[in-house]
Chains A and B, each alone.
Chain A
Amino acid sequence: MATVGILALQGAFREHARSVAACGHHPVEVRKPAQLADCQALIIPGGESTAIGELMVRFNFIDEVRRFGAAGGPIFGTCAGMVLLAKEIEGSAQLRLGLMDIAVKRNAFGRQVESFEADIHVPALGEEPVRGVFIRAPYVTAVGQGVETLASFDGKVVLVRQGRLLAAAFHPELTTDTRLHAYFLKFLD
């Protein structure tokens, strides 16, 4: 059983903790960078990327999380987490970790009235589609070398992997389907 840190500065961190626990691992809410030393993997949840980014700067997370990722620590970002992991954020100078060689567009499907659910085919998880919950979601507009596209929706890239880094535009933590969390936690093996 691994200790999985859930960045708990703002957003839907409790739901990720529930998914991690359902996969048989031990979730820990992370509010201080020193806690990362006890974590084998890290999840950056959905929320507002500008709010989480501001709190990451103020409480000295940026370099620590970059180090964690550079040292091979698995990191999974959903929605705002995907935005924060990206190297490029279209039309924005906001803070990012820049760990993944992807460009993203924020609120790319539109405002809340355009938020939606749809079945997403993720070959890496098998035949059964994933119920994708997209909330003011981003999508990936460009991927660099070494980035694998795991799923697309309507021609837009919504799930990517780069080594032990994983980023989803949607929210698996808002469903009871834990396959994507289980897939991520296999990076620990």
Chain B
Amino acid sequence: MVEKGTWTVKKGLAEMLKGGVIMDVTTPEQAKIAEAAGACAVMALERVPADIRAAGGIARMADPTVIQWIMDAVTIPVMAKIRIGHFVEAQILEALGVDYIDESEVLTPADERYHVDKHQFKVPFVCGCRNLGEALRRIAEGAAMLRTKGEPGTGNVVEAVRHVRMVNEEIRRVQAAPREELVTIARELGAPYELVLQVAELGRLPVVNFAAGGIATPADAALMMQLGCDGIFVGSGIFKSADPEARAKAIVAATTHYNDPQILAEISRGLGEAMPGVDISVIPDHERMQERGW
């Protein structure tokens, strides 16, 4: 019997993306540059997060025309974003045939209480997380892949580091805890007990976890990989830099050779200006994208 949209094939595509870089692109030309540089997938957008941040207002799913152009331009998987809780945007992207949906805090949330029931879809979903409880709640809703939230569009890696360190710390706590403490820990995390039990047994998240939000340099990518992430999303970091092609290639190479300082030193040379950065403390709380979702 042929079965489509199973957990194995949803989670499986994320496994295939591991050790790779997923790049935000807004045009077919950018998508081709990303593919040629060795991106393992692209995220099709109308605007990169830095521009969404600058533009303000309500950020929504991209026009299907833009997504379709990008799908036609490359052979690698194409992802696209929906607003948190906006299951109709998800239905539209599934009908369009995108390969992964990012239910993303980069866009303005459509529902302040519920995320999308991702089990209802054949297309797999990736969601952001800042801690283990949030990660496991998203998996419970059907996310087959996770990423740190970071603080998108800032070129500042500090929040992504905070989020992956928090997840790692909480995984170690779950792993070290005796069985009888796990129900209480699950309650404290706000996560389903069965998933907490799985984390205790595996010693890691049950799905692939990428780094996202603020990655701007090859060193940033390697840092997130050394901290235990499975791969890298780069949003504004590539096409907001002085030389996108060179930077894209360098970040791809850094994600593969994250443990080799010699190679990292070579590939970090002469990339030109990185994207302009933003200090997190100058962003008012209500404008922090990572605070969206729960």
Specify which of A15, A111, A113, A136 is in contact with B15 (CB 8 Å cutoff).
A15
Residue of B with least CB distance to A53: B38
**CB of B176 within 8 A of chain A?**
no
Interface stretch (choices B83-91, B93-101, B178-186, B211-219):
B93-101
Q: B18: which A residues are within 8 A, CB to CB?
A: 10-14, 47
**CB of A145 within 8 A of chain B?**
no
A55 to chain B: closest CB distance in Å?
A: 6
**Is the beta-carbon distance between B1 and A118 smaller than 8 angstroms?**
yes
**Is the beta-carbon distance between A133 and B8 smaller than 8 angstroms?**
yes
**CB of A60 within 8 A of chain B?**
no
A116 to chain B: closest CB distance in Å?
A: 5
A1-42 interface code vs B (CB 8 A; 1 in, 0 out): 000000011111111000000000000000100000000000
Interface stretch (choices B60-68, B102-110, B249-257):
B249-257
**Is the beta-carbon distance between B4 and A113 smaller than 8 angstroms?**
yes
**Is the beta-carbon distance between A112 and B256 smaller than 8 angstroms?**
no
**CB of B9 within 8 A of chain A?**
yes
CB < 8 Å A-B pair total: 126
**Is the beta-carbon distance between A117 and B16 smaller than 8 angstroms?**
no
B225-259 interface code vs A (CB 8 A; 1 in, 0 out): 00000000000000000000000010011011100
A28-71 interface code vs B (CB 8 A; 1 in, 0 out): 00010000000000000011101100110011000000000000
A126 to chain B: closest CB distance in Å?
A: 20
**Is the beta-carbon distance between A118 and B40 smaller than 8 angstroms?**
no
**Is the beta-carbon distance between B39 and A118 smaller than 8 angstroms?**
no
Q: A8: which B residues are within 8 A, CB to CB?
A: 19, 256
B93-137 interface code vs A (CB 8 A; 1 in, 0 out): 010011110000000000000000000001110000000000000
- If A14-B18, A31-B260, A174-B15 touch, whether A48 touches B76 (CB-CB below 8 Å) is yes
- If A12-B18, A31-B256, A118-B3 touch, whether A51 touches B12 (CB-CB below 8 Å) is no
Residue of B with least CB distance to A114: B4
**CB of A96 within 8 A of chain B?**
no
**CA–CA, A8 and B252, complex, Å:** 13
| Interface residue count on the B side (C-beta < 8 Å) | 41
Specify which of B9, B38, B257 is in contact with A51 (CB 8 Å cutoff).
B38
A97-125 interface code vs B (CB 8 A; 1 in, 0 out): 00000000011000111111111000000
**CB of A171 within 8 A of chain B?**
yes
**CB of B221 within 8 A of chain A?**
no
**Is the beta-carbon distance between A136 and B77 smaller than 8 angstroms?**
yes
**Is the beta-carbon distance between B9 and A133 smaller than 8 angstroms?**
yes
B80 to chain A: closest CB distance in Å?
A: 12
Q: A107: which B residues are within 8 A, CB to CB?
A: 75
Q: A143: which B residues are within 8 A, CB to CB?
A: none
**CB of B36 within 8 A of chain A?**
yes
Residue of A with least CB distance to B3: A117
Interface residues in chain A, defined as those with a beta carbon under 8 Å from any beta carbon in chain B: 8-15, 31, 46-48, 50-51, 54-55, 58-59, 79-80, 92, 106-107, 111-119, 133-136, 171, 174
Interface residues in chain B, defined as those with a beta carbon under 8 Å from any beta carbon in chain A: 1-6, 8-9, 12-13, 15-20, 35-41, 75-77, 94, 97-100, 122-124, 249, 252-253, 255-257, 260
- 9 closest residue pairs by CB, A with B: A54-B38, A112-B99, A115-B9, A48-B40, A10-B19, A51-B38, A12-B15, A10-B20, A118-B2
23 chain-A/chain-B pairs, Cβ below 8 angstroms: A10-B255, A11-B18, A13-B18, A47-B16, A47-B19, A47-B20, A48-B41, A50-B36, A50-B75, A51-B38, A54-B37, A106-B75, A111-B97, A113-B5, A113-B97, A115-B9, A116-B3, A116-B6, A117-B6, A117-B8, A118-B2, A118-B3, A135-B9
